[in-house]
Amino acid sequence: MTMLLLVLAIAALLMLRVPVAFAFLGPCLAYLVIDGQSLGLSMRTIVNGVSSFPLLAVPLFVLVGTTASRAGIADRIFDLALALLGRVRGSLGYVNVGLSLGFSWISGTAVADAAYEAKVQIPVMLSKGYSRPFSLGVTGASSLISPVMPPSIPAVIYAGIATVSTGALFAASVVPALLMSLGLCIVVYILCRSKPELDGEPFNWKRLGRAAQRAIGAMAAPILILGGILGGFFTPTEAAAVGAAYMFILGFAYRTLKVKDLPSIFRETVVTTAAILIIIASASLVGWILAIERVPQQVAAAMLSVADNPTMFLALTALLMLVLGTVLDAVAALVITVPILLPIGLQIGVDPIVLGVVLIVSLMIGLLTPPVGTVLYVLSSATGAKIGEVFRGTRPFFIPLVAVVVIVIVFPGLVMWLPNLLGL
Amino acid sequence: MDEATRLAPRREPRILRWISALELAIGCLALAVIFVLVLVQAAQRYLPVGGWPWTGELARYSLAWLTFIMLGYLAGQGQHIAVEAIDTLRWKGVVRAVRIFAHVVVAAIALGFAAACFDLVANDTGQVSPALEMPMVWLYVIPLVGFAFTAMKSIALIFLPEPAERDETPTEPNDPEVPR
Amino acid sequence: ACGEDGADDAVTLSFANSYPTSHAHNRCGTELVKEKLEAADVGIEVEIFSDSQLGGDADRFTSVMAGDISMDIQGSSALASSHEPIGVFDMAYAFDGPDHLFEWFDGGDADQLKEDFAAETGAHILDVWYFGMRHFSANDPIRTPADLQGLRMRFPDSPIYLANAEAMGAEATAVAFEEVYLSLQQGVVDGQENPIDTIQSMSFNEVQSHVSLTGHQTGSQMIVVSDAAWQSLSSEQQEALTEAVHETRAENRQCIEDDTEAILDEWRSAGAPTIVEDVDLAAFQAATEAYFLENLEGDQLELYESIRSSAP
Ligand code: NA
Ligand code: NA
């Protein structure tokens, strides 16, 4: 069985409504068995694909979001944000981007951010008259800020494989993450500017004071989580658990959470988590087959035959990552491609830090593209919206995201400015 | 909306409902274990107890157990993530036929992976996990159960009526439930 | 089996590992084995899979046992999950350095271990390569076991590393490898231990002021081959493979040592991190030997005593 047959089988099963995970799992199992590998290999590979420490942040951040939403904590934050922005048209759109930017200093993955915000922000946006596609789109697109802004799990992994300084890569990612946020806000402005129904209520000091008082407990959450990480009390994954514990305490203190709510909070968290992780597990099996068939190496050889300058090379890399990011877990894609791309890049004269930023930003956009963009599925699973609807919603936001990739490729100096400033 | 309808949006025969309840119970237990262990890992640095390297490992395995035990539950509830483009077709007969095909495929794949799990469990290499020193075969027992249940549910779905469209019966993540 | 001769009959061996292509184990390890076997022209082709492309350490070794991967590079603590005694290799100050490691391994006492290992796992140990010495990094110098007091040190999550921590009097704390950099940067943990090239490649030197050359573990890596792959080779091919792996050992060690020296030189000339060389090795060795003699039993104790008694 050739790779082409494998790809066709996966595509056919996907179109015939076989769940994404099973559309990957079935053909891969058949492929490996025909290839003479042991039956257990597929099983071991998918179990290992999800039993990784950084992924523990997924259920925990889903738990934070579910609990916060059930305990009404989200509403308190939004009341405050709305009171702050006053009449600004489309204020919840900006709040959505801004909270992702804030969350990005805590979270290292887009999936956790999207899962959290799907629960916390989308219901409130819908109730305030924002359209479903817009709410889904801005949430999905802004979740990509998390894995770009440090701390970033993909950055740590890239730095480890490419043997570059993690600190320098972290610093290099800050400007692109801020550019992403700015670009998304511009799209929010354009989409909302002719919609007077999205005007906030007039600014009112008394309302702001009341909202601030109600939101003090909620506002302390990022301080607790971020402060905990920056103060050296716990790691980012541990921060997710502490955040969840804090949300329970807050909910019980506000009396908006009852012990009888716990089973349904847990149920919701478990369902969302399992639906996401089984896809990551099955993608890791695809990754194994690609690796053993040396597909990435063939792609790299083809690439080297056309790219002869850094800009061209980075542009092709970004393109390749956009494609790979749709069918592979970002971590798996990095692990497979960096060892092949890095030597080519160095040969052509690309700074490995710039390559890392380009890889990460473009892989992250892949999370938003069908057929298998993970963030689309997270939003679909968390809100019940169809994949197509989520994708339609995210479409306008691709323009700034792709623009950031282009800017980073054309002006690598923007990436290197902060690490150089800090002497990294 | 009352709790009962929320927990069982699809009418399943009693035996399948029991299985769903079991799957959910194990999934929730795994989540609780993850939550507690990660907290413990954070706490043990500040407490005199300390030195439990197995907390991270057990949390990771629990994540795998959570994922695989819930496969059948998600299949039974129609909550697996799928490309639903075909649902928009006008010919309801074709849509129904495709759905039945998908159930057959899922059942076959789940049986294949149940066999893969069985292969691992039956041919114990004696390997133990690094920190817990837990026999590695234990890792695959819950996925074995999960895939076996998935196959059962998918076979049952071939003969059971389809659940209502997602948009009509929002699953509770979509509940416009506002705080009281 | 089809009876045709010539290049068409070549056996293809997959040779997997967890290291980047730039690491000595690939650059002057797997690549050299591949070249040597090509030059030997015995009908063996080697395909290298670096960077954990085929899974993490424990998972890849299971694949070797199942015959899904032909060859791999594995540390002894990972192998100890399948055959407990071999974990002794990674115990603190068991070996006095690479010379001691290689001499003991070639000296005949390792034969029983290799046999038992093959009987229990179905995989064969072809040879041992050197991985560099493990040292501590922290924001304080560590010269004596007493200097470890009050420091939260990150060790890998396995019983052998924990035993090493206890033997040296360190307070071990669990942090996943992926989170070590941030944890050191933010002070969640005070220090960690790894070979110099790992400290450099993971950038731990950016967030630690001191690297103390305690050399508390002689890093060793077994070259393992699956039984299925081994049996598929003719005796001539088996010999060529064994020889290629064994010949590579010295070149590989040279690379590791050169890399380590280059990094240390770079740190010295940069003035950061501070390299602490005046470590009281005798105090560490005495503490760990007393600990292991008291706490080990059975096969592990026997192996430990065999290794220690062969120390130069
Ligand atoms: Na957002
Ligand atoms: Na981040």
Report which of A10, A18, A12, A22 is spatially closest to residue B102, judged by C-alpha positions.
Answer: A18
**From first to last of its 312 residues, what are the pLDDT tens digits of chain C?**
343 444 457 899 999 998 888 889 999 999 999 999 999 999 999 999 987 888 888 889 999 999 999 999 999 988 998 899 999 999 999 999 999 999 999 988 899 999 999 999 999 999 999 999 999 999 999 999 999 998 999 998 788 898 999 999 998 887 877 678 878 887 889 999 999 999 998 889 989 999 999 999 999 999 999 999 999 999 999 999 999 999 999 999 999 999 999 999 999 999 999 999 999 999 999 999 999 999 999 999 999 999 999 988
Structure tokens at A215: 């939101």
Q: What is the pLDDT of residue A230?
A: 62
Indicate if the pLDDT at residue A414 is higher than 70.
yes
- Domain span holding position B153: 12-159
CA distances from B154 to A335, A413, B149, C105 (A): 35, 55, 8, 55
In A275-294, the residues whose Cβ lies within 8 Å of chain C are: 287-288, 291-292, 294
B134: helix, strand or coil:
coil
- Domain contains B102: yes
Q: Which residues contact A353 (CB under 8 A, 6 or more apart)?
A: A164, A165, A168, A169, A172, A415, A416, A419
pLDDT category at B169 given cuts 50, 70, 90 is very low
**What is residue C59's predicted lDDT score, i.e. its pLDDT?**
87
Q: Look-up: residue for tokens 């990674």? A: C90
Q: pLDDT tens digits, residue range A181-231?
A: 999 999 999 998 877 777 767 778 888 899 888 888 877 876 777 677 666
Enumerate the β-bridge partners of residue C195. C134
d(CA B28, CA A326): 30
Instruction: Flag whether pLDDT at B6 surpasses 60.
Output: no
- pLDDT of amino acid A226: 63
The pLDDT score that the predictor gives to residue A327 is: 65
Q: What is the dihedral of CA C147, C148, C154, C159, to 10 degrees?
A: 140
Question: Quick check: bond before A343 cis, omega within 30?
Answer: no
The answer to whether residues C120 and C217 touch, using CB atoms and an 8 Å cutoff, is no
pLDDT one-digit tens code per residue, A294-342? 876 787 778 778 888 899 999 999 998 888 777 666 766 776 677 678 8
Report the pLDDT value the prediction gives residue B107, as an integer from 0 to 100: 97
Residue B54 counted as domain residue: yes
What CA–CA distances, in Å, run from B20 to A79, B4, B17, B24, B73?
A: 38, 13, 5, 6, 6
Partners of residue C74 on adjacent β-strands: C222
Structure tokens at B150: 């998935």
Cβ of B109 within 8 Å of Cβ of A26? The answer is yes
CB contact under 8 A, A159 and C202: yes
* Domain membership flag for residue A309: yes
Q: For residue B2, is it within any domain?
A: no
Q: Bridge partners of C191? A: C138, C153
Round the average pLDDT of chain A to a whole number and report it: 84
Query: Among all residues of chain A, which has the CA nearest to that of C55?
Result: A45
- Measure A225 CA to nearest chain B CA, in Å: 12
Residue type, A75: D
In a domain, A106, yes or no: yes
Among all chains, which residue has been given the structure tokens 């004596």?
Answer: C144
- Chain B contact probe: residue of A224, A262, A270 with most B CBs at under 10 A: A270
Q: How far is the CA of A106 from the centre of ligand 2 (A)?
A: 6
Instruction: Give the nearest partner residue to C186 out of A44, A232, A343, using CB atoms.
Output: A232
> Which range (A33-47, A61-75, A279-293, B11-25) has the least confidence?
A61-75
Burial of C80 (0-12, 13-18, 19+ CB in 10 A): buried
CA separation for the pair A113, B32 (Å, rounded): 21
Residue B180, pLDDT > 80, answer: no
> Could you tell me the two tokens for B154?
């998918």
Q: Is residue A7 part of a domain?
A: no
The token duo for C30 is 């797997």
Report, as an integer, the average pLDDT of A103-109.
63
**Do the beta carbons of residue B70 and residue A274 sit within 8 Å?**
yes
User: Is B130 in contact with C158 (Cβ distance < 8 A)?
Assistant: yes
Give C-chain residues touching B54 at CB under 8 angstroms.
Answer: 157
* Residue length of chain B: 180
Could you tell me if residue B68 is inside a domain?
yes
Residue A127 pLDDT: 86
Q: How far is A258 from chain C (nearest CA, A)?
A: 34
pLDDT in tens, B112-153: 999 999 999 998 888 888 788 899 899 999 999 999 999 999
Task: Give the pLDDT confidence score for residue A328 in this predicted structure.
Answer: 63
Candidates A37, A159, A163; nearest CB to C22: A163
Domain that holds residue A170: 30-422
Give dist(CA A271, CA A258) in Å, integer: 21
On whether the CB atoms of residues A161 and C201 are closer than 8 A, the answer is: no
Q: Lowest-confidence range among A79-83, A250-254, A381-385, B138-142?
A: A79-83
Q: Does A51 touch chain C (CB under 8 A)?
A: no
Count of domains forming chain A = 1
List the one residue out of B54, B48, B7, B12 whose CA is nearest residue B28: B7
Number of folded domains that form chain B: 1
A227 and chain C in contact, CB less than 8 A: no
Residue B171: predicted pLDDT = 38
- pTM comes to 0.80
CA A79/CA A389 separation, integer angstroms: 27
- More confident site: B54 or B176: B54
> CA–CA separation, A98 vs A200, rounded Å?
17
How many C-beta neighbours within 10 Å does residue A205 have? 8
% pLDDT > 70, chain A? 89
- β-bridge mates for residue C49, sequence order: C16
- B55 and C CB contact within 8 Å: yes
- A18 occurs within a structural domain: no
Q: Say whether residue A15 is in contact with chain B using an 8 A CB cutoff.
A: yes
Model confidence at B85, pLDDT cuts 50, 70, 90, reads low
Q: What is the pLDDT of residue B3?
A: 36
Distances (CA, A) of B45 to A246, C153, C206: 19, 10, 23
Residue of B nearest to C187 (CA): B45
Position A25 in a domain? no
Mutate to test the interface with A, among C47, C175, C201 (most CBs of A within 10 A): C201
Chain B interface disruption, residue of A51, A52, A252, most B CBs within 10 A: A51
**B85 and A388 in contact by Cβ < 8 A?**
yes
Q: Is the distance from CB of A117 to CB of A99 less than 8 angstroms?
A: yes
pLDDT at C267: 96
Per-residue pLDDT, C281: 95
Contact B106 A256 (CB under 8 A): no
Residue A417, chain B, CB below 8 Å: the answer is no
Give the pLDDT confidence score for residue B172 in this predicted structure.
Answer: 37
- Longest CA span, chain A: 72
Task: Tell me which of A72-86, A276-290, A387-401 is least confident.
Answer: A72-86
CA closest to B106 among chain A residues: A22
Give the DSSP letter of residue C27: I
Q: Is the pLDDT score of B177 beyond 70?
A: no
Helix, strand, coil percent content, chain B, rounded in steps of 5: 65, 0, 35
Rounded to whole angstroms, the Cα distance separating B26 from A191 reads 45
Q: Residues A14-25: pLDDT tens digits?
A: 889 899 889 989
* Rounded CA separation C122/C115 (Å): 10
What backbone phi and psi angles, to 5 degrees, belong to A257?
-120, 130
Q: Which of A37, A51, A166 to mutate to test the interface with C (most CBs of C within 10 A)?
A: A166
A160/C202 Cβ within 8 A: yes
Chain-centroid distance of CA C228 in Å reads 24
pLDDT attached to residue B86: 75
With a cut of 60, say whether residue B2 has pLDDT above it: no
Residue B34 lies in a domain: yes
**CA–CA separation, C247 vs C244, rounded Å?**
5
